[in-house]
Amino acid sequence: LASMNRNTHMRSFNVPLGLLFGLAYAFVGFTQFVYNNLGGEGPGIQLLLLSPTPIRNVFLARNLFHATLFAVDALLVSIMVCWRLGTPPPEALAASVAWVLFALPLHLGAGNLFSLIMPYKINLGRIGRQKGSQGNALLSMLVQAGALAVGAGVMALCAFFGRLWLAVPILLILAAAAVFGWMRVLSNVDRMATARRDDLISTLVKAE
């Protein structure tokens, strides 16, 4: 009987797993912007660095904008996943939302850091055909893979023991840690931008 219940739980896990992968995939389209916040500035980076507006405020505004766009995209992806695979149980839906609350600030914090350490110029006219920073791209993929692995691992382990609801508090604790990390990075953005002023200008203003 216990084996049958466990198999039932694992079969029912197909839907939340599909939803989790769908949400992770929804973020991929924003990677080039989230992990390179200053890439589209070009020569404007000089005015941005001289502006009395703190760089922290600029990054925070862009983080909130990207988060809003992701929320819309995630909603559409969730609707499509539920339409194809069926509506997940409440605990699976709650776990997926908890994972988003963990993954999103993790991406935003890492993106802010990479935007200052490994920026690259973006030509908005041919964004899909240009090469970016290989280091930035590789590390951003590792962060995304890590976030997905954590979510899938926690949910799979809890589902295996028939306690999928336990994934919610675990992921919320991780979400709190991710938000703390994001805030810490934001608090140091101005200092890092000042320290890397010359590198940012030379990288983002360089000729095509």
Cβ neighbours for 54, distance < 8 A, ≥ 6 positions apart: 189, 190
Question: What is the structure's pLDDT at 68?
Answer: 94
More confident residue, 25 or 42: 25
Work out the average pLDDT over 6-29: 68
Cβ neighbours for 83, distance < 8 A, ≥ 6 positions apart: none
Q: Is residue 200 very low, low, confident or very high in pLDDT (cuts 50, 70, 90)?
A: confident
- pLDDT > 90? residue 113: yes
- pLDDT > 50? residue 4: no
What DSSP character marks residue 36?
-
- pLDDT > 80? residue 128: no
Taking alpha carbons only, the member of 2, 7, 16 closest to residue 164 is: 16
